[in-house]
Amino acid sequence: MEKAPFLTELAHAPDGSCAYWIKTSDGVRLRVGHFPSEEAKGTVLLFPGRTEYIEKYGKTAADLAAAGYTTLAVDWRGQGLADRLLEDPMPGHVHQFSDYQLDVEAVLAAAEELDLPRPYHLLAHSMGGCIGLRSLINGLPVNSAVFSGPMWGIHLTTPMRSAAWVLSWGGKQLGLGHLSVPGSRGESYVLAADFEDNLLTTDREMFDLMRSQLTANPDLELGGPSLRWLNEALQECRELASQDSPDIPCLTLLGTNERIVDVPRIESRMAKWPNGELVRVTDGEHEVLMDSPDTRDALTKRMVAHYDVHQDAQRLAASG
């Protein structure tokens, strides 16, 4: 693998963190971030959300490294420093949602090539939660999973949902799927929004950090989704809703002020997930892992305890 650019100074990541270029089976170039931990007892595969990039999770990876877990994160196709799929780089776009599973395959191959410690565990946020759920159903080789504000549905009013289906399907059928969803932003949300009543975090320091990362490297920016992305996402969420939850130990973190993903879909799935637990974060917004230091510390402890229990279970089974 070839070394890729990494914003070391802005990532607040563990010592020795770096990035690599990898290729998918259909020829798309992705970027993965390797966040090491000395004498690691396992590896967390980190699936970010739409618009995100590996440096954004530097602090999370540092917390996991301190607890003994290496992290491998990815810039999905069409975002971060991965290949953009349209001439205009700003709309979030994918040709079909199943293409993200090709990205997952490439991430697993990178983990093997880097000889990252097993067992693997999953940490998936928002759109990464949608990709991650499909990956688990497909047999992703992890001992356990943690989801943060997973996109198992998109938060839309009933009239908006109907309009989203009609517009996105019509745009795709007419060859206009590359166009941005009407009314969506042509720039990154954190650069356009005010901190007050933003949809992501209640912590000013983390909000400013996200802004500073994008200002330092505008190539990381991503605007609103394309019509095709929206239609593919709606279809994938609908199809996943009909699937049973996999028999993988699962912890899901959900802010009580979540306003981006579909909360009832999350509640419904977690109520029926075997060995699953839903943790509600009081006053939390969409990105609870990007919140106040106290919140991040408490949630990191919950995640690490979850990973540790299922890490030990595997070792006990192996020794028996």
For domain 2-319, the CATH superfamily is Alpha/Beta hydrolase fold, catalytic domain (3.40.50.1820)
The distance in angstroms from the start CA to the end CA of the chain is 37
Closest among 231, 115, 126 to 178, alpha carbons compared: 231
Which pLDDT score, from 0 to 100, does residue 127 have?
A: 98
What is the widest separation between alpha-carbon atoms in the chain?
59
Q: Is the pLDDT of residue 3 over 70?
A: yes
Q: Is the pLDDT of residue 317 over 60?
A: no
pLDDT band of residue 141 (cuts 50, 70, 90) is very high
Domain ranges in the chain? Answer: 2-319
Mean pLDDT computed over 7-15: 94
Q: pTM of the predicted model, to two decimals?
A: 0.95
CA dihedral 250, 255, 260, 262 (to 10 degrees): 50
Token look-up 């490439």 returns: 106
In this structure, what token pair is assigned to residue 256? 């009580």
Which pLDDT score, from 0 to 100, does residue 288 have?
A: 98
pLDDT band of residue 320 (cuts 50, 70, 90) is very low
Q: What are the pLDDT digits (tens) for 200-214?
A: 999 999 999 999 999
Closest among 62, 84, 54, 49 to 16, alpha carbons compared: 62
Q: Is the pLDDT of residue 110 over 70?
A: yes
Which pLDDT score, from 0 to 100, does residue 159 have?
A: 86
Rounded distance between C-alpha atoms, residue 286 and residue 274, angstroms:
24
Cross-strand partners of 18: 34
Rounded distance between C-alpha atoms, residue 158 and residue 233, angstroms:
17
In this structure, what token pair is assigned to residue 246? 């996999």
Q: Is the pLDDT of residue 50 over 70?
A: yes
Residue pair 150/238 in contact (Cβ under 8 Å)? The answer is: no
Which pLDDT score, from 0 to 100, does residue 74 have?
A: 98
Which pLDDT score, from 0 to 100, does residue 157 have?
A: 86
Residue pair 223/187 in contact (Cβ under 8 Å)? The answer is: yes
